[in-house]
Structure 1
Amino acid sequence: MERGMNRFSVPKVLGDMISLLPAYPGSVLFVSALNVILTPRLPEDVREMILGKQLRLTIMDARLDFNFVWTKGGFVAGWGNVEPDMIISASAYDFYQLSRREEDPDTLFFSRRLVMAGDTELGLVLKNTIDAMDLNVFELVKSVPVRKFLELIPGYKKP
């Protein structure tokens, strides 16, 4: 990763290569992880609010989009040609820091490193819901359900 302005970023040449990949397979993997990590923890009122909402997570420096929608059965991968109700964008490193709770989403938002577009009320509900969860993505990898999910991935090696 390149280092600039005291932050790491995906090198442009790598971002250019990643942007050539089809979005759908990555979105399928992304929603699989969301369903293991978030679905069991989502309150019923939040589930109702996000029902049928088209969401997109964009990793700006990697030029990578994850499109997904909440259905009654969980998160489902979406197609890139649908206009999302909400887009959340940041760099790979900023998402990494958020996932480890090393950076506050409000700080990133007000420094314009985390961008929300579209239905901001929806974005705030999701942000507040995730903030309320005692959730460290990297700690979850140690849990039995997540380990079993990872073991299904070809080539995965146990730590």
Structure 2
Amino acid sequence: MHFPALPALPLTELLPHSLRQRVAQQFEQRLAGLRIPAFTVPAPLARIAARLPQQIPTQALVTALNLALGRILPRDQLEALSGRGLRIRVTDAGLTLDFTLGDKGFRRAAGSSTPDLIISASTRDFLALALREEDADTLFFSRRLLMEGDTELGLLVKNTLDAVDWSALRPV
């Protein structure tokens, strides 16, 4: 026996608007209560990652930064970064990401020169910072976030990240 296929309807169209809103609110409340568990990248995996070319993760980072540039990252406030070498070191993952801000946005930097600012933390702490689960000051004063080099540049980066309106990324 052959049954005709039913048209696919998204589940949200089957629910009344008020119920969709309630479900969305409950979902957001539950997500807000979630915390990133304490973890570190396993050492064998970090040793492998440290030996791999860093161009791919660096390109992923600069692509994300360029997508945010002008939208949630105010370019005029970042002018002091222009031409300056920046390095993100993900300590437990063996990643070292070198980049800079140029006229056309962020780009990978040649890793041979000493960067002006190095920011180091674990994967978990960078995630907590990005998700605003923890702030940079807390991580810095608990020595889980390290800044080396030009401290004025580090302060600029920290203040810019603190000022970002992450809600601008939410879909309407």
TM-score category by the smaller chain? 0.7 to 0.9
Q: 1:71 aligns with which of 75, 86, 102?
A: 102
Give the TM-score, by structure 2 length. Answer: 0.73
CA distance in 2, matches of 1:98, 1:38: 18
Determine the structure 2 residue equivalent to 1:40.
71
Compare CA radii of gyration and give the structure with the larger one: 2
Contact residue 15 and residue 63 of structure 1 kept, 8 A: yes
Determine the structure 2 residue equivalent to 1:127.
158
Map 1:23-102 onto structure 2 (within 5 A).
23-102=54-133
Q: How far did residue 92 of structure 1 move?
A: 0.1
CA distance in 1, matches of 2:111, 2:49: 15
Deviations 1:16-42 (A, max 9, x none): 011011112221121011101244333
CA distance in 1, matches of 2:118, 2:152: 12
3-state secondary structure, aligned to 1:41: coil
3-state secondary structure, aligned to 2:71: helix
Q: How many percent identity over aligned positions?
A: 47
Contact residue 56 and residue 87 of structure 1 kept, 8 A: yes
Q: Which runs of 4+ in 1 moved over 6 A?
A: none
Give the TM-score, by structure 1 length. Answer: 0.78
Change (3 A) 1:143 1:29: farther
CA distance in 1, matches of 2:49, 2:98: 15
CA RMSD, Structure 1 to Structure 2 (Å)? 2.0
Q: 2:139 aligns with which of 82, 85, 108?
A: 108
Letter in 2 for 1:80: G
CA distance in 2, matches of 1:132, 1:30: 19
CA distance in 1, matches of 2:88, 2:76: 22
- 5+ residue gaps in structure 2? 1-36
Change (3 A) 1:27 1:143: farther
Aligned length: 136
Deviations 1:58-86 (A, max 9, x none): 10000101110001110011122121000
